[in-house]
Structure 1
Amino acid sequence: MTPVLFTNVALAVAAAVFLALWIITLVRSRRRVVNRNAAERQRIDLELSLAEQQGRLGIIRELQDVAVLSIARLITRAEGARYMAESDPSTAVRAATNIVDEGRVALADMRRVLTIAREGEAVAAAQPGPQSARDLFRVMRDAGLVVNFTESGERFELKPGAELAIYRILQSSLANALKHGGLGTEARVSFAWTQDGLQMLIDDDGIRAAARRDSSSDDEVAARTAYTIDDDLKALSESIAGAGITQMRERAQLFGGVFNAGTVPGLGFSVSAVFPALRFHNGVHGVDLSR
């Protein structure tokens, strides 16, 4: 073998070795990234599960306190109405009407306590509210989700049960966006308060985010996110199933809400919940008071 040929063979062998080492290193690096992402998702799942448990017990405790105080007031007003009935029957009738309305709200709260208690969770925490939503945004951002929040209209006070339902829909939507879209997914959250209700929308770009992570060029991203009119028609007609979607839909329906969820071809996923009469009916809506 001539020196030139030997040198070429040696260089080829060395190049092959370096290439193999590079491929092995790249595979290991990607595997570490995948494992790290899986561990991060597991951490988020556990943290959200803990928040679920904490919120459940918190709402039980708060609803119980509210119901006990409401019942105490009802007893006091009923005694007053009994005495007024002897001297001023018309005033007693008006008082009785107010007692009936307040009694329905108190009974609805107690029914919800029983429903939540049956789920069997027992960890103390504060009732989810506006500050809890901001904490949730912080947690999701730390986990790699880009969260943008906008709010319009005049916010009004919600009964604890309604506030919990809205919080859980938001929580589940963001968790799903991170789980399916992965790191770098952008979630756009909007709350639109109307005179009587609330419209909430959570859109994410999980499909596009995954394409950006796995592609080496803009052309490849465009190819991965391309879609046709058939994809649009399928997205409009498809029925999204799953325990998480079902739970969100049921939470919305408890308070007269209309829930929708579906894929946006080439982009991601969209969740909406519209509560048309939340201001005046979120205390007793959907609760069977006859039992």
Structure 2
Amino acid sequence: MITWINDNPMVVMISLAVLAGVFLVLALVLLVSWLLARRGRRNERFDRVGAERDRIDLELALAEQTGRLRIIRELHEVAVHDLAVIINQADGAQYAAAEDPSAAVRAASVISEAAKHTLADLRRVMTVVSDGESAPDALPDIPSRAELFGLMRESGLGVEFTETGTPFELRPGAELAIYRILQESLRNALEHGGKGTQATVGYTWTDVGFQIRVDDDGARNALRQAGQDPNLVARGSAYDLDADLSALTTVASGATMTEMRERTELFGGVFVASLEPGVGFSVSATFPTLRYHNGIHGVNLSS
């Protein structure tokens, strides 16, 4: 065998070259096959991720639209109630005018005031969405703040309440908007912070304005639930400027946040939701002219 190889070196070289070429081709085929399979798996993974992202986007869009329709329904119910007041006053004025002319004047004043509020609520509906939803004719019952606090405490959320300033009477639409903001803020605190989370609710009244603020300690509660001391953890892991800037600049999103923001803006307010690093979540809705503001083109109902 060795003798033959020595006698035929050219044949051996050609054979080795052919074998090397065959192995190279096989290697290339295997490499291409592996790359194609990898690309296929990657594309499949991207497709799954894309489909999941689309599903989440659709769910969020549906939730936001559901929230908008809920706002429309509630404003519609308030407007229907006000229209009933207008009709009753108008009917009464017809019969009272003959015996007491001043009664007609008083009725006209009530009708004018109710009509302003009704027009404002109906226009708010148009600012939320162009299409509507059929709604019942009854004005929604707004549970008391104390009832809401009681329900949340029974669910495991600690609630502390403070109020400063002198409260003024709220229109039903504004009262309902504030209640929903409070309700959703407390629900979010319980949902994301878990049982044992402490929430602080603050109402601040000015002569014509109002602010609601809800702060929770969901992040600290998570540490407590894990058997850690939040104070020790905070001292051992200082939060840098980047964390603070991120908390200040990150805009909280989601269907619930969108609904609360829209409720606030409908009454000329400013909604802010932010993560407090190492502590929890903070929500505030500030209404500078809530006492008079009707949310339409800057017109205020004090005139």
Query: Aligned pair 1:170/2:191, yes or no?
Result: no
- State how far apart, in whole Å, the 2-side matches of 1:224 and 1:56 are: 49
Contact 2:71 2:263 in 1 (8 A): no
Which residue number corresponds to residue 49 of structure 1? none
- Residues 65 and 195 of structure 1: is their aligned pair in 2 closer, same or farther, counting only changes over 3 Å? same
Task: Name which of 234, 240, 245 aligns with 1:228.
Answer: 240
| Offset at residue 238 of structure 1 (A) | 1.0
Structure 1 pair 113–195 and aligned structure 2 pair: CA distance change class (3 A): same
Structure 1 residues 150 and 224: CA distance shift in structure 2, 3 A:
same
Length-normalised TM-score, structure 1: 0.63
CA distance in 1, matches of 2:238, 2:146: 34
> Does the aligned pair in 2 maintain the 1:64–1:109 contact within 8 Å?
no
Residue 271 in structure 1 maps to residue 287 in structure 2: no
Residue 203 (structure 1) aligned with residue 215 (structure 2): yes
CA deviation map 1:50-69 (0-9, x unaligned) = xxx99987765454222221
Per the normalisation by structure 2, the TM-score is: 0.61
Deviation, structure 1 residue 285: 1.8
What is the Cα deviation at residue 270 of structure 1? 0.4
Is 1:151–1:191's contact at 8 Å kept on the other side of the alignment?
A: yes
Report the Cα distance in structure 1 between the residues aligned to 2:175 and 2:92, rounded to whole angstroms: 29
Letter in 2 for 1:192: T
Contact 1:156 1:279 in 2 (8 A): yes
1:70 Cα deviation (Å)?
Answer: 2.1
Residues 1-291 of structure 1: matches in 2 within 5 Å? 60-73=76-89, 102-111=114-123, 118-119=132-133, 126-128=140-142, 131=144, 133-217=145-229, 221-222=233-234, 226-281=238-293, 284-286=294-296
Specify the code of the residue in structure 2 equivalent to 1:272: S
- Aligned partners of 2:236, 2:263: CA distance in 1, in Å? 35
Deviation at residue 106 of structure 1 after TM alignment: 2.5
Gaps of 5+ in 1: 1-52, 82-91
Q: After TM superposition, which residue ranges in structure 1, 4 or more long, deviate above 4 angstroms?
A: 53-62, 74-81, 95-102, 110-117, 119-126, 216-220, 223-226
1:197: how far off? 1.1
**CA apart distance, 1:227:** 2.1
Offset from partner CA, 1:78-101 (integer Å, 9 cap, x none): 9999xxxxxxxxxx9xx9999766
Q: 1:238 to 1:280 in 2, by over 3 A?
A: same
CA gap 1:120/1:207 in 2 versus in 1, 3 angstroms: farther
Gaps in structure 2 of 5+ consecutive residues: 1-68, 98-104
> What CA distance in whole angstroms lies between the structure 2 residues aligned with 1:123 and 1:225?
55
Q: Secondary structure at the match of 1:144?
A: coil
Tell me the percent identity: 44
Instruction: Judge conservation of contact 1:196–1:276 (CA < 8 Å) in 2.
Output: yes
Higher gyration radius (CA): 2
Aligned to 1:38: none
The letter of the residue matching 1:128 is I
